């Protein structure tokens, strides 16, 4: 299996038509290796969310090539693209996107239900994911009755339940206070360190970005910096 989990070469994305045409991303090349922790940073409108959406197969580039674990995504139809995305990626968004009136366990196992996994297996894997986040006792609770930090940990459990090799986190601490955000931040970084899950974080949080292995900085739809974290000698 290739060490490159994501290999994007010269990808670009434009929106609109005519005079309203807007280039959101232009000629971007990014390679992300298995087990890396990468921060995508930049001001609003820099193209960082567009880049995440393309790398995560939530949208298609207009130009360039994108390979996921060695698979050229240009050769995939919509169904196979969806299968590859669901098999490879987990998602943690700033908005929780929890289904009101349903249990924490049902929210966590939703990706497995969509994938057609048997109910017993869904429950087992859902409870295992919740246990990793120390939320086993909340499995039967109404998901929308939880605190903000608990909700975000439920979202992380939902991202983990499909056993992805990559987690995309889009402003994962944006809706949380400082103390709660620190807990969520540490949870994501621990999954990267201890389980080897590749972590790609889109963030305005300079402290979180600084804790990642790499920072990819975008400005006006182009990468202006791609640098590894400097290790401080003991």
Q: Tokens 């974290």 label which residue?
A: 229
Instruction: Give the pLDDT mean for 147-162.
Output: 90
The pLDDT value given to residue 234: 36
Instruction: Give the pLDDT band (50/70/90) at residue 176.
Output: confident
| Other beta carbons less than 10 A from residue 11's beta carbon | 22
The structural domains of the chain, with segments of one domain joined by +, span 4-228
Pick the CATH number of 4-228 from 3.40.50.1450, 3.40.50.10140, 3.40.50.300, 3.40.50.620: 3.40.50.300
pTM over 0.85: yes
In this model, does residue 141 exceed pLDDT 70?
A: yes
d(CA 200, CA 168): 5
Token pair, residue 104, equals 């924490």
Highest-pLDDT range among 54-58, 141-145, 227-231 = 54-58
Q: Which is nearest to 105 in space by CA: 131, 87, 130?
A: 130
């Amino acid at each position: 299996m290739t060490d490159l989990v994501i290999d994007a070469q010269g990808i670009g994305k434009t929106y609109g038509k005519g005079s309203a045409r807007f280039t959101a991303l232009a000629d971007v090349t990014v390679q992300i290796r298995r087990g890396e922790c990468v921060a995508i940073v930049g001001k609003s409108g820099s193209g960082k969310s567009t880049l995440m959406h393309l790398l995560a197969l939530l949208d298609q580039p207009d130009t360039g090539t994108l390979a996921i674990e060695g698979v050229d995504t240009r050769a995939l139809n919509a169904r196979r693209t969806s299968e590859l995305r669901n098999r490879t990626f987990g998602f943690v968004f700033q908005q929780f996107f929890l289904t009101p009136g349903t249990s924490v366990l049902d929210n966590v196992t939703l990706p497995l239900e969509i994938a057609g996994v048997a109910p017993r297996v869904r429950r087992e894997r859902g409870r295992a994911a919740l246990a990793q986040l120390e939320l086993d006792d909340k499995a039967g609770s109404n998901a929308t009755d939880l605190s903000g930090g608990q909700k975000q940990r439920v979202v992380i459990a939902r991202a983990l339940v499909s056993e992805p090799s990559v987690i995309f986190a889009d402003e994962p601490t944006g809706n949380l206070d400082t103390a709660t955000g620190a807990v969520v931040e540490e949870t994501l970084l621990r999954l990267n360190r201890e389980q080897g899950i590749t972590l790609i974080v889109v963030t305005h949080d300079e402290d979180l970005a600084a804790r990642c292995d790499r920072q990819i900085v975008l400005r006006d739809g182009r990468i202006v910096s791609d640098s590894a974290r400097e290790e401080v000698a003991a």
